[in-house]
Amino acid sequence: MKTVDILMPRPMLPIVQEQLDAAFNVHKLFEADDPDGRLAEIGPKIRGVALAGGQVNAQLLSKIPNAEIIASFGVGYDQINTVDCLASNVMVTHTPDVLTDEVADTAMGLLLMTVREFGQAERWLRDGKWVKDGPYPLTGATLQGRTLGVFGLGRIGKEIARRAEAFGLKIHYHGRHQQKGVDYPYHATLKELAAACDTLMVVAPGGPETEHAVNAEVLEALGPEGIVINIGRGTVVDETALIAALENGTIYGAGLDVFEDEPNVPEKLMQLPRVTLLPHVGSASQATRNAMGQLVVDNLKSWFATGKAVTAVPEMR
């Protein structure tokens, strides 16, 4: 496989770079002084892409006409136009399952932080206010007695629900269809889910179908005790509507690990008192990211050794 040319547009973890360097002829586009010129030079030779962010569409595929596979780092792949890839007969893989538990743990941590304002309480201590002004004010919200609505009951959504049950939360869900073998109450629309719950956990993938699905109407249905947690994709939540709902008391609070225009976070979100913000760290442990990186390597090796991918995206199965 050392004769197989692989494109790496952006830096990747050492576990990925070292193994791919040993197995393939890797072209690191990020090291080129003129990336566009370099791609024009090597494009026809490229047979695979190790992807860590960036768009894949017909425009890029036209520059690498002999590409066979896009091995993407991450479970979400909305930055890849799978229709264009299918039209060009290019396999697309991602890295599901290995990050499920880590993201589910993060979701529960973010929910607890948001409801009980643990981040704000820590800043109170660090800023010396405990000594100067006394105990941190009692939190207006509690996790006890809440009903959690899961938007996107896939692998991660199910693990979040399982953890939430251990905390005594009631679980409802909404997705494209009702799932067989799932006992949680199902709601045909997101608005109906929000109306039945006081806590909305957004685990849905990005893309045109879910863009701004959590809008002003959904937030209104969630109500004044409502809390929104988003560990899915930033585009799923209309941030303008969310800010307005928080400012007006339409909902109580929000916890966000993802944003519409990362790494740019609206200043108003950072100023609001009952909002907890994380810099997209859902799967960001060394162990989990290494496992994700290994899947990128395994997909490329398997494809060029056997013609089969390990974890193809659903559209390719």
Nearest to 71 by CA among 283, 292, 299: 299
Residues in contact with 7: Cβ distance below 8 Å, sequence separation at least 6, in sequence order: 26, 27, 29, 39, 42, 46, 48, 49, 50, 64, 67
CATH 3.80.30.20 given to domain 5-98+287-316: no
248: pLDDT confidence band, cut at 50, 70 and 90? very high
Across residues 250-269, what is the average pLDDT? 98
269: pLDDT confidence band, cut at 50, 70 and 90? very high
Q: pLDDT > 90: what percent of the chain? A: 99
Active site residue 247: no
Nearest to 117 by CA among 131, 103, 135: 135
Across residues 74-99, what is the average pLDDT? 97
Amino acid identity, residue 183?
D
Q: Per-residue pLDDT tens for 132-144?
A: 999 999 999 999 9
Which residue of the set 209, 217, 262, 315 is catalytic? 262
Q: Per-residue pLDDT tens for 276-292?
A: 999 999 999 999 999 99
Give domain limits for the chain. Answer: 5-98+287-316, 100-277
**Where do we find the tokens 């509507």?**
241
Domain 100-277, CATH among 3.40.50.720, 3.40.50.620, 1.50.10.10, 3.40.190.290: 3.40.50.720
Which residue of the set 27, 233, 274, 289 is catalytic? 233
pLDDT of residue 74: 96
Across residues 237-265, what is the average pLDDT? 98
pLDDT over threshold 90, residue 239: yes
Q: Per-residue pLDDT tens for 133-187?
A: 999 999 999 999 999 999 999 999 999 999 999 999 999 999 999 999 999 999 9
pLDDT of residue 122: 98
pLDDT of residue 103: 98
Tally the residues of the chain.
317
pLDDT of residue 2: 86
Across residues 232-253, what is the average pLDDT? 98
pLDDT of residue 133: 98
pLDDT of residue 229: 99
Active site residue 233: yes
pLDDT over threshold 80, residue 81: yes
Evaluate whether 292 touches 98 at the Cβ level (below 8 Å): yes
**Where do we find the tokens 């932080």?**
113
Active site residue 212: no
1: pLDDT confidence band, cut at 50, 70 and 90? confident
Q: Per-residue pLDDT tens for 19-74?
A: 999 999 999 999 999 999 999 999 999 999 999 999 999 999 999 999 999 999 99
Which residue of the set 116, 155, 163, 280 is catalytic? 280
